[in-house]
Structures are given as structure tokens and as C-alpha cells.
Amino acid sequence: MQRLVFLTQSVDPEHPVLAATIPKIRALAERVDEVVVLAQSGDGDGLPANVEVRTFGAPARVHRVWRFERELAHALPADAVVAHMIPAYVLLAAPIVRPRRTPLLLWYTHWKASTTLRVAERLATAIVSVDRRSFPLASPKVRPIGHGIDVNEFTCTERTRGPGLRALVLGRYSPAKGIETIVRAVEQVDGFEVRLYGIALNELERRHRSELERLGVPLGDAVPRSQVPELFASSDLLVNNMEAGAPDKVVYEAAAACLPVLASNPVFDELFEGYPLLFERDSAASLASRLRWFAGLDDSERAEIGRTLRERVALRHSVETWADGVLAAAR
């Protein structure tokens, strides 16, 4: 494949949520002659020489749409166009891309099915997602390709038993994360402390963060992408209570760092196979039971879980297998 156009929100290595897009761009660039990235903001610093970043950001929506259409028209012809996580990009791109018979892909992993997503599903030639269950619509276009984790970004750390166990919660302060259930569960188990770090990107999340403050646990701010591996290394366990459907990327990242994980989303069944790492969502009692089980393991048993999870991420969810899956779907 010669040229690929990649549509995304931001190209920022320090963004706490969107920085993980950059290894995906690099992996695609290793497999094609040229990648043209259209982003609302960002630049090409640190990206391979065959990657060009063009931005379409503007204060007004109408100007953003106009600039998006202009930059996309200039980026064509291409062998494929990939929209990353934003169904509206498919709607905007389709009138320009589909008449050329150019494959138009949507990468999407989320639990919510909007009207825009339903239209995008019809307009896209293929949908790529982590798992068939991580796309909220039943569609024959869905191809599961894993989550696309840069395993080399994370290293295994020796963790030894200390006076207590540190449970990490990392991500947006969204009601969909089920954070209150996690806090209630940790309160029921001796020897555990919970550490929360996240970002509030909209009014709903800012309001939810204020509600969580009433629980009396410290709430940390967003952690820059470069500091996430250090945060994993200083924790004993990641706990994730994301709403069922889309598997939270942070679970795979923690697993890549050999950090054991407890999660409620059934989509992680293949990652957790053989270990009792799933708990019932919104059940503090179920999570507390799993925390007690984990506390009863010795250091070598916890380390074995961490190493196994890393091996599974490398095999099924690496950025390399993700890029291969995208290009296979484009063909």
C-alpha cells in the first residue's frame, strides 16, 4: 500500500487520553509508503519521515468542517482512509472518498450507539474494533483486530509485598467508570489503599468528580502520558469498572506493564482466561471478594499473573497486530 489517510482528533504525545494514537500512526507508517494525518490539532514532531500531519482546527465548527474537507481533498488520492474513533469523520469524508471507490474504515470501540454512528456504519466500507462486542451495533462489517497497545512503551517491574497494597484507578472521571463502586469495595478490605488519577473533559465529568470528592478519597489530576509507566510500576493492581461494551485501553496498558488487573467488563474474558480477575459491575461485594483473593496471593503468584497478561497483550493486542488488521480490512 502506498498512501494512507488517517483522520484523528489530536497528535499530542503528552495528551492523557489521545497520546496512544501516536504509536498507531508509527506502526501504520512502517507498513505503507506514506501516511497523511488530518488532525484537529498537533504536529509531526517525532513521527517518521513518511508521515505528514495537516491540521483543520478552527474556533467555529463551520470553519473546521470546511478546512477538514479541503485538507482531505488535497490528501487524495489514497489507497485507504481510516477514521479514528470519530464517526462524524466518516460522514464528512464519505462524499469525497466513496465516489473514488477508496476504502473508508472506522476504528471505533465504545459502548454508546449514536445516530451518527449508525449512519457512519452504513457509509464505512469496514469497521475495525477490539472485539465484536466492543462495537455497539450488530454489523457484518466489524472486524476484531485487538486494541493496538505499544507493548515496548511498558516494562515489567518487580513488585514485592509491603505493608499494604496499592490499587490504581486511572482514566476519565466519568460516571461510566463506576469509580464509587471501587472506592466502596476497597473500604471493605483491610490492607488496601486506592489511588485515583484522571481528567474531567466536560461538564458531566467535572460534576461527577465533585460528587466523588464527597467520598473522602484523594482525587489526583490527569497524568501525562510519559508518566503512566511509572504510575504502573508503583502500583500493585489496576482496578477497572468501565461500563460493559468497549474494553478500556488502560487495562491492556497495565497488563503490558505486567500489572495485574481486576475488571468488570466481560470483553476481557479472553485476556483473563484461567484467572478469576473479573467481578460483577456495580457490585462492591463482588469486587471486595476479588480484592481479598488477590491479597492472599504471594509475590510470585502475582508476578505470574502479570507476566501472563503481558504475553497475551503482545500476542493479540499489540500495535503491530493492530496495524496489520487495519491494512487487511482496507484491502
- Per-residue pLDDT of 231-288, as tens digits, reads 999 999 999 999 877 789 999 999 999 999 999 999 999 999 999 999 999 899 999 9
* DSSP tag of 275: S
Whether residue 66 is found in the same domain as residue 198: no
- Cell numbers placing 216: 473522602
Per-residue pLDDT at 97: 97
AA identity, residue 243: E
291 contacts 262 by C-beta, under 8 angstroms: yes
Give the per-residue pLDDT at 243: 81
| Beta bridge partners of residue 34, listed in sequence order | 3
User: What value does the mean pLDDT take over residues 100-125?
Assistant: 95
- pLDDT at position 311: 97
Task: Mention every residue, 6+ apart, whose C-beta is less than 8 A from residue 331.
Answer: 1, 103
Cell 484523594: give the residue. 218
128 and 12 co-located in one domain: yes
- Indicate if 267 and 206 belong to the same structural domain: yes
Least confident of 150-164, 215-229, 295-309: 150-164
Of all residues in the chain, what percent carry a pLDDT higher than 70?
A: 99
Domain shared by 182 and 227, yes or no: yes
Residue 322 in domain: no
* C-alpha distances in Å from residue 289, one per residue of 183, 217, 277, 292: 14, 21, 11, 5
Are residues 138 and 196 located together in one domain of the fold?
no
Same structural domain, 167 and 44: no
The pLDDT tens digits for 148-204 are 999 999 999 877 666 789 999 998 899 989 999 999 999 999 999 999 999 888 999
* Cell numbers describing residue 236: 500493585
Residue 195: strand pairing partners: 168
Residue 15, pLDDT score: 81
Burial class from Cβ neighbours inside 10 Å (0-12, 13-18, 19+) for residue 226 reads exposed
- The per-residue pLDDT for 13 is 86
pLDDT of residue 112: 83
Give the domain CATH number at 215: 3.40.50.2000
CA–CA separation, 220 vs 231, rounded Å? 12
Same-domain check for residues 304 and 195: yes
Q: What does the mean pLDDT of the chain come to? A: 94
Kindly report, residue by residue over 11-58, the tens digit of the pLDDT. 988 787 788 899 999 999 999 999 999 999 998 888 999 999 999 999
Is there a domain that residue 245 lies in?
A: yes
3-state secondary structure of 47: coil
Residues 173 and 311 in one domain: yes
DSSP conformation class of 25:
H
* DSSP per position, 296-307: TS-HHHHHHHHH
CA distances to 166, 174, 180, 232 from 206, rounded to whole Å, are: 25, 8, 15, 25
At 160 the pLDDT is 64
Both 10 and 140 in a single domain?
Answer: yes
| pLDDT of 135 above 90 | yes
39-73: burial string, b at 16+ Cβ within 10 Å, e else: bbebebeebeeebebbbbeeeeeeebeebbeebbe
Q: In the chain, how long is the greatest CA-to-CA distance? A: 64
Residue 122 lies in a domain: yes
Contacts of residue 209, defined as CB under 8 A and 6 or more positions apart, other chains included, come to 173, 198, 200, 219
Among 21, 86, 73, 68, which residue's Cα sits nearest to residue 47? 21
Alpha-carbon span 229 to 300, nearest angstrom: 21
Please give the pLDDT value at position 32. Answer: 98
> Residue 295 sits in which domain range?
152-315
Which pLDDT does position 209 carry in this prediction? Answer: 92
Residue length of the chain? 331
Which stretches of the chain are DSSP H helices?
Answer: 21-29, 61-75, 87-97, 115-123, 179-187, 203-213, 228-233, 249-256, 269-272, 284-295, 299-316, 319-330
Among residues 40, 43, 44, 85, the alpha carbon closest in space to that of 63 is found at 40
Q: Residue 331 has which C-alpha cell?
A: 484491502
Can you tell me the distance from the alpha carbon of 273 to that of 316, in angstroms, rounded to the nearest whole number?
Answer: 13
As a whole number, mean pLDDT of residues 293-297 equals 95
- The domain tally of the chain equals 2
Tell which of 126, 144, 162 closes a domain. 144
- Asked which of 99, 126, 144 is the last residue of a domain, the reply is 144
Task: Reply yes or no: is the peptide bond before residue 247 cis, omega within 30 of 0.
Answer: no
